Amino acid sequence: MKKASIITALLVFLLAAEGPRAQRRLTEATISYDIVINTSNKTPQAADLLDGATSVVYLKGNSSRSDMISSLGTQATIVDGKTGNVTVLKEYGDQKYMITMTRDNWKESNKKYEGVTFAFVEEYKTIAGYNCQKAVGTLADGSHFNVYFTKDLVPVNKDFQYLNKNLPGLAMQYEATLGNMLVTYTVSAVNFNPVQQSKFDLPKSGYRVMTYEESKGGKSN
């Protein structure tokens, strides 16, 4: 009887170990996304230039950095967790721009995503080892996009991905538009190693500094 009790306890332990993984609050992580461009035949060159592009997101507390890397160049979006200010660094060949944004500027630049709602679908798939549920997002203009998210990973700071900030978990695959192109982002890896603070340091020189208004073609104060 004692042996049977030990075996039963062992089976319960093993089943528990194989069950759903515990929810994890993402306070520090590096998330890598692969990017696929879908476009009409009218703009094949644009898709070719972005072919093989990747996006790497660094999270540390309330701060974040998102790097988009393609054959065209790189663009980094850094969110300061303390002030809410955002800095965009663009490097395309010899051209380097630093665009400074206030919290209100950042909100304005993402106004098309304000009020997005999600309808959850009983459809699931595994992405990068995580169980993900499908959701259909609806924007204020009535357009829709698909996203798969996992409740196993919940970012503390969601400003890095404004489109999906209302999801109850991390977006592991999602659609976005870039001009007339449909862009699909899919997580290839999630790394929980510490992120260096230097990732959020801003360059002191080498960039043409512009305000958000100037970047839109407006006049500076």
CA 206 – CA 201 distance, rounded (Å): 14
User: Which domains are present in the chain?
Assistant: 24-215 (2.50.20.10)
3-state SS, one letter per residue, for 4-58: HHHHHHHHHHHHHHHCCCCCEEECEEEEEEEEEEECCCCCHHHHHHHCCCEEEEE
The reported pTM is 0.83
Give the pLDDT confidence of 133-171 residue by residue, as tens digits: 999 999 999 999 999 999 999 998 888 899 999 999 999
Give the pLDDT confidence of 29-75 residue by residue, as tens digits: 999 999 988 765 555 555 566 667 999 999 999 999 999 998 889 99
